[in-house]
Structure 1
Amino acid sequence: MKVMQLLPELNSGGVERGTLEIARALIANGDESLVVSNGGRLVAQLEAEGSTHLTLPVHKKSLSSLWQIRPLRKLIQQHRPDILHVRSRVPAWLAHFALRGMPAGQRPHLISTVHGFYSVNRYSQIMTQAEKVIAVSDSVVKYITDHYKNCPPQDIVRIYRGIDPQAFPHGYQPSAQWLNQTFKDFPELENKFVLCLPGRITRLKGHETLIALVQQLQQQYPQLHAVVVGGADPKKAAYLKEMQNSIQAKGLSEKITFAGHRADIREWLAFSDAVLSLSNQAETFGRTALEALSVGTPVIGWNRGGVAEILSNIYPQGLIEADDQTALLNAVKKHIDAPQPVAPVTMFSLKDMCDQTLSLYRQVAQQ
């Protein structure tokens, strides 16, 4: 079987990671894997793992992208994949027009993955116009059925994102060397109850909620220390400054640490005593929450989106009513007063995700 995946770029993010994971599974299974994108820093890894990367500028949300329809059609005709898997809106539109210009008998089967809660409009609707539409969680299934009545429910296939439990083993502990370096870089974290908020610095991630929480708890729990693990895009520098000013004004500079962008997220999740998921908008899946639970760190998060699905299955005691600040306060107090064990995670594995996706490819290819 030959599968061609189509996405804007191969730099970083959930869509990119999922593309590489499926590509790796195809190669391991003896299938052929092609990926079309504008390139990026993950291309070297993709190719080293046995896939073929074809560079095409399919990433720009502008009319100039329409010039890529013919080159894309040429690539499809040249490589003749059995399956064309689109993972983003611009590539999905280009694929739509490229396939329309091909004789029906020569077209590959089309599959899409809805990775996000896109704005509801004609532009986004293209993601629901495929033979099979993969939804990454039940929340996404509901989003599609609520907003895109043109998509037959039987064509929607829920395949949860997954993680490799060996990469995030239960009970994992950072090395002594890592701890020494961390306490050297951030001496304020030693002998503290560390509350971690992972994720990029954007207004969506709930940093204001974290600041208010620390302010309320600092007198009663002097051992509490919050860490924000995630970098700020240059465009978000003003927001980061605004937060730091707010922290300073509230006298919390000694209580909240910004660790910046980190490649060692597993270590930070395992090192923390509890991890928070406080996004103002529902997330489609919530991989970081799952990674934290996988290593055995409790997660406290709002009851919405994919994070709620993960928590209700794995750690329901961490699930709190969305935006209920009192419930959040009480949940954190409970975790500080008595450490809560997290059972080993047996769901949401990377293997399940890959097996289900390849099985869907086969089923569609045989039609």
Structure 2
Amino acid sequence: QLLAEGSEHHRLPIANKSLRSLAQIWAIRRLLQTLDPDLLHLRSRLPAWLCWLARPPKRSPRPRWVSTVHGLNSVNAYSAILLRAERIICVSQTSADYLKQHYADCPVERLRVIRRGVDPMEFSADAKRPDPAWRARLQARYPALSGRYLLLLPGRGTRLKGHDSALQLLGRLRAEGVDASLLLLGADQAGRERYLRHLHELASQLNLSGHWQALPMQADVADYYRHADLVLQLSTRPESFGRTVAEALLLGRPVLGWDLGGVGEQLRDAFPSGLVPLGDEGSLLRRASALLADPQIETIDRGRLTTVDRMQQQTLAVYAELLGTPATSR
């Protein structure tokens, strides 16, 4: 796609964080000399370090430097390389606040908040409506998902994603007579068999056998969102953004999540009814019951969600801003 659209694509073996990646410094230096780019956009720490070590002499005003901080990275000198850029794009206000809190020398005037964008073509509530036949096929294949209400928690197989809380919520809902099922999409993950056994043991203790299902992540994740009555985001560690929240809300599906990090930030903006204080299981149950009983309890403000187009335009605006100003010391 890049080539078809007129880009040049140069590949270097720097995917693994190892000392062998340092051998690419000379290749990057030659590439920079050949291309003489106006601007470099560094989107992770290792490429940023390699480009920093390969940079032209200080007397050269080019290339200008932009970085993107995607995660709430460990606070150390290795992560701090991203703060040397002349403009630092943060994927959420949570991410920007994290940098300001943990780095005393954080150049606040260089920070720009641009939320990650969701593709409205893929996650459109208008382009494709829920198909009862799709859900019927899902329930036929996985009878454990045959409850009247389908709860969906998308996320990889790790305790940090809050699967335990989701199972406990399901148990409490069913104890109150709510005919609900739970799908843990992505929890069935290669190399995480021990964790999956833990989930089965917990579900058995909660008498939930036959009412929940763990699956690998699916390519048609948008269809799973469309047919969920309630999407859960119960990560216990702050996330910088929380992509699943934006995807589900853009599709018009109610999301229930802890008021934490980027997840809380997005819910506060677009769907405050889905916010629950971190760890408050009682409030989680009450809010889940209310949203299942009346999913239209509050209109989702989709205008507060960032689409890919908006993200791209905001990023190009940062480029234009930087290229129109004198170079700063790095």
Normalised to the residue count of structure 1, the TM-score between the two structures is 0.82
> CA 1:360/1:199 → structure 2, altered by over 3 Å: closer, same or farther?
same
Counterpart code for 1:270: R
Bigger relative contact order (CA 8 A; separation at least 6):
2
Q: Which residue number in structure 1 is paired with residue 217 of structure 2? A: 261
Residue 62 of structure 2 is aligned to residue 104 of structure 1: no
Write the mapping of 1:186-201 to structure 2, written as runs, cut at 5 A.
Answer: 186-190=142-146, 192-201=148-157
> CA 1:252/1:176 → structure 2, altered by over 3 Å: closer, same or farther?
closer
Across the aligned residues of Structure 1 and Structure 2, the Cα RMSD in angstroms comes to: 1.9
Matched position secondary structure for 2:60 = helix
Percent identity between the aligned chains?
37
- The match for 1:147 among 92, 98, 102 is 102
CA–CA separation in structure 2 for the residues paired with 1:191 and 1:253: 13
- The match for 1:361 among 313, 319, 325 is 319
Superposed displacement of residue 179, structure 1: 3.1
How many residues are treated as equivalent by the alignment? Answer: 322
Segments of 5+ residues of structure 2 without an aligned counterpart are 326-330
Residue 44 of structure 2 is aligned to residue 93 of structure 1: no
Residue 286 of structure 2 is aligned to residue 345 of structure 1: no
CA–CA separation in structure 2 for the residues paired with 1:155 and 1:46: 29
> CA 1:258/1:48 → structure 2, altered by over 3 Å: closer, same or farther?
farther
- The match for 1:205 among 161, 173, 186 is 161
> CA 1:207/1:49 → structure 2, altered by over 3 Å: closer, same or farther?
farther
More displaced stretch, 301-310 vs 165-174: 165-174
The ranges of structure 1 where at least 4 consecutive aligned residues each deviate by more than 6 angstroms after the TM superposition are: none
> CA 1:326/1:50 → structure 2, altered by over 3 Å: closer, same or farther?
farther
Deviations 1:213-236 (CA, angstroms, capped at 9, x unpaired): 122222223411111111544332
Deviations 1:131-153 (CA, angstroms, capped at 9, x unpaired): 11111111111111111222221
Q: Which residue number in structure 1 is paired with residue 328 of structure 2? A: none
> CA 1:189/1:239 → structure 2, altered by over 3 Å: closer, same or farther?
closer
CA–CA separation in structure 2 for the residues paired with 1:242 and 1:208: 9
Superposed displacement of residue 307, structure 1: 1.2
- The match for 1:287 among 234, 243, 257 is 243
More displaced stretch, 352-361 vs 104-113: 104-113
Q: Which residue number in structure 2 is paired with residue 322 of structure 1? A: 278
Q: Which residue number in structure 2 is paired with residue 272 of structure 1? A: 228
Contact kept, 8 Å, 2:188 with 2:215, in 1: the verdict is no
- The match for 2:34 among 60, 65, 78 is 78
Superposed displacement of residue 258, structure 1: 1.3
Deviations 1:106-131 (CA, angstroms, capped at 9, x unpaired): 63111100000001111111111111
Residue 93 of structure 2 is aligned to residue 135 of structure 1: no
Superposed displacement of residue 345, structure 1: 0.6
More displaced stretch, 275-284 vs 250-259: 250-259
Residue 158 of structure 2 is aligned to residue 158 of structure 1: no
Contact kept, 8 Å, 1:129 with 1:151, in 2: the verdict is no
CA–CA separation in structure 2 for the residues paired with 1:237 and 1:49: 42
Write the mapping of 1:302-321 to structure 2, written as runs, cut at 5 A.
Answer: 302-321=258-277
Normalised to the residue count of structure 2, the TM-score between the two structures is 0.91
CA–CA separation in structure 2 for the residues paired with 1:102 and 1:56: 23
Write the mapping of 1:21-100 to structure 2, written as runs, cut at 5 A.
Answer: 45-99=1-55
Counterpart code for 2:303: T
